[in-house]
Chains A and B, each alone.
Chain A
Amino acid sequence: MPVIVLASPKGGVGKSTCAVLLATQFARMGAEVTVLDCDPNKSITRWSKHTMPDGITVHSDVGRSEIVTLIKASDGDGKIVIVDLEGIASQLVSRAISQADLVIVPMQATALDAEIGSEALALVREEEEALNRTIRHVVVLTKTSAAIRSRVQRELEEQLQESGIDVIQPSLVSRAAFSEIFAYGRDLTDMLNDSTMKTGGNVAAALANAQAFTEAVYERLK
């Protein structure tokens, strides 16, 4: 099954949030999910210290020297591998991209995120050439407004599409539940059904957003 790599040399764009949402939603679909936490901030590892949903295994502190072998060992039919990378330009990032079936580049709708995120997109294209292998890559806009599609977001989406870059719809909306999942562990469905997990946000809307996002990712893996 596929190897999904979350890559952007910029930190704070939502790579770990995307990783957790995809891992939990694919696990809900019945997949055996392995998450490789390569981020020195260890967001995924912190999340995994709470009660973990069934079907998810997390490997922490994955470095440059073991990334390729660990992806190879975790990959297989019936399994999904999700790689959460560090927010810097490193050899670890380029190696992980080489093993990907799908590279997701999360970015906020800002010029800075777009500029730095485009470095990852350019790297994917160069690796495709060097390895003579197609590596599917997409952009997902993160932390967007639930109420309106801003002018900046609209323009950025248009620019990306004009450049031939696949932009996942829906974007990931800025939701309290997406942040709170790191404090509580488990997943959004548990959060919706468990009254002790208080987020103050619209969990149902967050869950619907995560499901639609995962569905869009799934469509690109087929």
Chain B
Amino acid sequence: MSGSNRLSGLKASTKPTAPEDIRKVDMVGESRGFVDRTPRKKPGRKPSPRTMQLHPKVLPDIGDRIVEEAERLGMTQGQFIEHLWRQYENQARTE
């Protein structure tokens, strides 16, 4: 079974590629359960990359300690700062 001359008799044939043909094919397939199973992309805005930046006026050494403590507590810096703010407010009320 060798020799490309044997294969030369096989010619390409025209296939139904028009949009209406594909619609028909999709309809026939769907009626037998051959439905679109393309994995859906996660909806919504993609999360922004983490910059690890704090407010520019926070001094770097304090910023680093906030980052470390937030990581240790398993929360974001924003959540940690909210937590600190609530403590500050409570303290201000009692004074």
Name A residues whose Cβ lies closer than 8 Å to a Cβ of B: 1-3, 9, 25-26, 28-31, 63-65, 68-69, 71-72, 75-80, 88-95, 97-99, 101, 119, 122-123, 126-127, 130-131, 133, 211, 214-215, 218, 221-222
| Closest-CB distance, A71 to chain B (whole angstroms) | 7
Name B residues whose Cβ lies closer than 8 Å to a Cβ of A: 1-4, 6-13, 15-17, 21-22, 24-38
In the complex, are the beta carbons of A29 and B7 less than 8 A apart?
yes
| Closest-CB distance, A114 to chain B (whole angstroms) | 17
Assembled-state Cα–Cα distance A126/B25 (Å): 9
In the complex, are the beta carbons of B12 and A77 less than 8 A apart?
yes
In the complex, are the beta carbons of A131 and B12 less than 8 A apart?
no
| Closest-CB distance, A205 to chain B (whole angstroms) | 16
Q: Which residues of A sit under 8 angstroms from B33, Cβ to Cβ? A: 89, 119
In the complex, are the beta carbons of B34 and A93 less than 8 A apart?
yes
In the complex, are the beta carbons of A90 and B37 less than 8 A apart?
yes
Q: Which residues of B sit under 8 angstroms from A71, Cβ to Cβ? A: 15
CB-based nearest A residue for B16: A131
In the complex, are the beta carbons of B13 and A94 less than 8 A apart?
no
Q: Which residues of A sit under 8 angstroms from B38, Cβ to Cβ? A: 63-65, 91-92
In the complex, are the beta carbons of A98 and B21 less than 8 A apart?
yes
> Among B1, B9, B32, which residue has its beta carbon within 8 angstroms of that of A89?
B32
